[in-house]
Amino acid sequence: MTTTYPLRLAMVGGGPGAFIGAVHRTAALMDGAFTLVAGALSSDPAKCQERAAEWGIAPERAYDSWREMLAAEQALPEEMRAQVISIVTPNHLHHEVAIAALHAGFHVACDKPLTTTSAHAVAIADALESSGKLFLLTHNYTGAPMVREARALVAQGEEGPIGTLRKVYVEYLQGWLSEDLETTGQKQAAWRTDPKRNGPGGSLGDIGTHAHNLAEFISGQRITRLLGSRRSFVEGRAVDDDAMAMIEFEGGADGMLRCSQVCVGRENGLAIQLFGTKGGLEWRQEHPNDLTIYSATEGPLTRRTGNGYLSPLAQSSCRVPPGHPEGYLESFANLYREFADAIRSGDPLPTHLPSIEAGNTWT
Ligand SMILES: NC(=O)c1ccc[n+]([C@@H]2O[C@H](COP(=O)([O-])OP(=O)(O)OC[C@H]3O[C@@H](n4cnc5c(N)ncnc54)[C@H](O)[C@@H]3O)[C@@H](O)[C@H]2O)c1
């Protein structure tokens, strides 16, 4: 059957008050690549109906549970049924929903972290392999134009401005969990500090994964060895709220990874610096349209979004002319658009799109 635009998307999670579900919806719809047709948007059926009404999902396709949704959608005629399931629940549900969705014949877009244990990650990888479907792990920063530009510059090796990579310093610093917000009824803090729902890594699973992914994506190399420590600074907290590690890459570079949710006043300080034999790079997600290039002879130079001097992938990832800011939502939209293109064409995912490997499925 010909797969035409828009593709039909169904969402698990994203109920009233949820954070990332609305981001996924906006991003998936931004380029007209998807339409949202169904959802199991909350563990509370009434809240699911409330959100479905707000989002224009027909009441009969707002389901009481994700299991009911997969079964009901599977039973619909092919031209109606959802084609892609987007998973935007707390982490502990990712693997169960992903495996069931793949077995039921749906493509899957899942937010990070892939899941909470290596065994679950491997089980998703196995389900993916036998399904013949596509899997997108929404490590959204890989969709940012200047992150893609950084990757392209590093990939040039000795021919490019960076040379052979030596050092990678990556960090993600937040401050919103500096106090015991989880005891105040704040739901997002509650599940993120509960090992049963977040997984054993607190800040590591929540934001350290972004730093790890960014380092591997831009360097083009896997991290193969690390020595790290993690701590809970807030008394009584069951997961880490701060961690740091010395990291080594398969290609010989090394560096540092830091993540913290107790850096008071910091918002979303995801930043990376890489240095090679010829120069360096710096990207900060709070200023996503700039990429600084360091050189011994020319001083720091800034490349910016929207300009014709960028690499082809970075250029095609920009939506507006130079000087008009674009950022977080658009990076997600780039992933969704390219995911839709791959589904439609029947091709494998392009290698720059984060899939199951970005979830680190080794044991
Ligand atoms: N890529 C990013 O930048 C980014 C940012 C934030 C969150 N995330 C990830 O997105 C996921 C969700 O995070 P969030 O901040 O949106 O959480 P959230 O608490 O705001 O939303 C979670 C939603 O899932 C729903 N839910 C819970 N159990 C459910 C079930 N059994 N069936 C259906 N829905 C259910 C909740 O009702 C809620 O609507 C997490 O895995 C998180 O790591 C990614």
Burial 52-63 (b: 16+ CB within 10 A, else e): beebebeeebbb
pLDDT at 254 over 90: yes
Residue 102 to residue 190: CA distance in whole angstroms: 29
Q: Is 142 in the pocket of ligand 1 (CB under 6 A)?
A: no
Residue matched to tokens 């959608």? 73
Q: Could you tell which of 89, 93, 212, 334 is best to mutate to test the pocket of ligand 1, judged by most ligand atoms within 8 Å of the CB?
A: 89
Q: Is 42 in the pocket of ligand 1 (CB under 6 A)?
A: yes
Specify the pairing of strand 223-231 against strand 242-249.
Answer: antiparallel
Q: Which CATH superfamily is domain 7-140+355-359 in?
A: NAD(P)-binding Rossmann-like Domain (3.40.50.720)
Tokens matching residue 254: 């090394």
pLDDT at 1 over 50: no
Q: Could you tell which of 25, 87, 88 is best to mutate to test the pocket of ligand 1, judged by most ligand atoms within 8 Å of the CB?
A: 88
**Are residues 105 and 111 in contact, defined by beta-carbon separation less than 8 angstroms?**
no
Tokens matching residue 52: 């479905």
- Tell me the per-residue pLDDT of 73-82, one tens digit each, with 9 for 90 and over: 999 999 999 9
- Close Cβ partners of 248 (under 8 Å, ≥ 6 residues apart): 223, 224, 225, 226, 254
- Close Cβ partners of 59 (under 8 Å, ≥ 6 residues apart): 49, 52, 53
The length of the chain is 363
- Tell me the per-residue pLDDT of 196-209, one tens digit each, with 9 for 90 and over: 999 999 999 999 99
**Are residues 63 and 40 in contact, defined by beta-carbon separation less than 8 angstroms?**
yes
- Tell me the per-residue pLDDT of 209-250, one tens digit each, with 9 for 90 and over: 999 999 999 999 999 999 999 999 999 999 999 999 999 999
Total-model pTM: 0.97
In the chain, which residues fall in CATH 3.40.50.720?
7-140+355-359
Tokens matching residue 344: 């439609």
- Tell me the per-residue pLDDT of 325-343, one tens digit each, with 9 for 90 and over: 999 999 999 999 999 999 9
Q: Closest residue (by CA) to atom 15 of ligand 1?
A: 19
In the chain, which residues fall in CATH 3.30.360.10?
145-325
- Tell me the per-residue pLDDT of 267-317, one tens digit each, with 9 for 90 and over: 999 999 999 999 999 999 999 999 999 999 999 999 999 999 999 999 999
- Per CATH, domain 145-325 is 3.40.640.10: no
One-letter amino acid identity for 172? Answer: Y
Q: Could you tell which of 11, 20, 48, 94 is best to mutate to test the pocket of ligand 1, judged by most ligand atoms within 8 Å of the CB?
A: 20
